[in-house]
Amino acid sequence: MNTNFYEQVYEIVRLIPPGRVTSYGAIAKSLGAAKSSRMVGHAMLYAGTAYPSVPAHRVVNSSGLLTGKFHFKTPDLMEALLNKEGVEVKNDKVVNFKKVFWDPQNEIIV
């Protein structure tokens, strides 16, 4: 693959600490491609085949909604993992999204 673009996405996603979530748009912005938010999601699609495993369950849309939960092995896996990490999920969306939101730029800049 060697798709640099995806690699960047994976890097960020893997940097997401447990109990935290981020949005596709935030990642896209951090990559300097704010308009390529869809590509981030698409990258996550490859995440299933990527290694090491990418915690795609920590990535939600701008509203904290678990848009991609149906792309997991099981639709319940996403919120199950999040709950396991201490992230409350209700109605397919992250509770206290603003609180658990993790800004990629916060770690990238350094």
Partner DNA sequence: ATCATGACCATCC
Partner DNA sequence: AGGATGGCCATGA
Binding positions for DNA, rule: CB under 7 A = 1, 3-6, 23-25, 33, 35-42, 44-45, 47-48, 56-57, 59, 61-63, 67-68, 71-72, 78
Beta carbon nearer to DNA, 63 or 106: 63
Structure token pair of residue 31? 């990559």
* Smallest gap from residue 12 Cβ to DNA (A): 14
Based on the number of CB atoms within 10 Å of its own CB, is 86 exposed (0-12), middle (13-18) or buried (19 or more)? exposed
* Smallest gap from residue 13 Cβ to DNA (A): 9
Place of tokens 């960047």: 8
Beta carbon nearer to DNA, 52 or 110: 52
Structure token pair of residue 64? 């904290």
* Smallest gap from residue 90 Cβ to DNA (A): 14
31 residue type, one letter: L
Beta carbon nearer to DNA, 88 or 93: 93
What's the CA gap between 24 and 28, in Å, rounded? 6
